[in-house]
Amino acid sequence: MKFADALKTLPEFSGEKLVLTDAAGAEVATIANAPGSAGSFRVYAYLARQYGAINAEAAAEGLAIFAEHTEDASGHPGKHPNIDRLIGLMASGDTLNVRII
């Protein structure tokens, strides 16, 4: 399934942005609910609701949702930072907490 098709299956979420924090509570990243990042906002919000946080299991599902973009991100590190972050969580086993504001 292509990313655009997978995205249509996810619920919509309201909020201006999503804030990701590490185990110590330090802000790691933000993802705006705006053109250019709204898809990532929706994926991360969905994963947070399903798993309670973004852990390795959630990251694996997220990478499947991002579909063809995951392959592109693997071949071009830095091009898709929100996908790179999920790849990193798979490798490290770390967990990120999510807050939508």
What are φ and ψ of residue 99, in 5° steps?
Answer: -130, 125
In this predicted model, what pLDDT tens digit does every residue of 20-61 receive, in sequence order?
999 999 999 999 999 999 999 999 999 999 999 999 999 999
Place of tokens 């392959």: 71
Count the helix, strand and coil residues of the chain and give each as a percent rounded to the nearest 5. Answer: 50, 15, 35
pTM of the model: 0.97
In this predicted model, what pLDDT tens digit does every residue of 69-100 receive, in sequence order?
999 999 999 999 999 999 999 999 999 999 99
In this prediction, residue 96 carries a pLDDT of 98
